[in-house]
Every structure is written in structure tokens, then in C-alpha cells.
Structure 1
């Protein structure tokens, strides 16, 4: 696999992992004990630590990509194994 392909696939894993990691650890304003701003959604986070979330996403995406790359290299699960229709 070329490094450009690996980088593109890693970027796709990172993007997917953003949506996987984003809901965890979020506290609403009510849970944090603050007062809501008029017009604020009930589910809006009280504080959004973008740096911490980016680190978490990077860790999860790196682990997922490493498993993908190891499977690509060693062929643990192949498309033939997943063809149950035949």
C-alpha cells in the first residue's frame, strides 16, 4: 500500500472516529450546574474541550487504523470469508 493511500484511509478512520468519540464525556449546562442562555438547546454542551476530543479521536483512530493495516498485511479476514451468500 502506498503511503498516500494509507494516509487517505487514516483520514477516513479519523473522520469516522470523530462521530464515534464526540458524544462521550459531554455534560449539559444543567448537569454542570450552570444557567442556560436564552435560545440554547437543552442538549448543548456546557464546555467543549476541542483539544482533548482531538487527542481522544487520534488515539482511537490510530488503534482502528493499526488493526485495519495489520489485517491488510496478514489477511486475517478476507472478502472470501465474508461471502455468506454462496
Structure 2
């Protein structure tokens, strides 16, 4: 895994996790009962983005570590997903 692919993998994991974490414990203006005129009742009142960003960073780092280990050790490879045998036979490693 190159440094670029490692950074891209972490960024994708971070944003996907962040989009999952954002609605957790979200208090809307409708929940609080103080809807500002001109806004929707579903607009967030208390969003706690800093805390959610920290949680996301830790969760994404753990998932990235697990995926990094899986990719670098070869536990799961691209050939494991070749269900229709389109890649052909695997190359034979030279033994001496």
C-alpha cells in the first residue's frame, strides 16, 4: 500500500464514518421547542460537531488500522473477489 492510497483510504473512512456519526444524539429546534422564524423545525440546535469529529477520527483510525493489516498481510486479496474467474490463473511464485 502506497502512502497515497493509505491517505485516500483514511479520508474515505473518515468521511463515511462522519456522515454516520452526525445524526447521533442530534437535537433539532423542533425537539427543543425553540424554532427560529424562517428555519425548518428539523434544523439542528445542538450538534456537538467537535466531539463528533473526535469520535470519528478515533473510529476511522481503528478501522484504517484493521484494513491496513488486512491489505498488507494479504489475508484478503483482489483474487478473493474474482467470483467469475476473469483474472485468469494466479502467477506461480518461483521457488529455489
Please classify the TM superposition score into its range, dividing by the shorter chain length: 0.7 to 0.9
Higher relative contact order (Cα pairs below 8 Å, separated by 6+ residues): 1
Segments of 5+ residues of structure 2 without an aligned counterpart are 86-96
Name the count of aligned residue pairs. 85
For the aligned residue pairs, the C-alpha RMSD in angstroms reads 1.8
1:1-86 aligned within 5 A: 1-32=1-32, 34-86=33-85
Moved >4 Å (runs of 4+) = none
Residue 4 of structure 1, CA deviation: 4.7
Residue 13 of structure 1, CA deviation: 1.9
Residue 59 of structure 1, CA deviation: 1.5
By percentage of residues, which structure has more strand? 2
Question: TM-score normalised to the size of structure 2?
Answer: 0.72
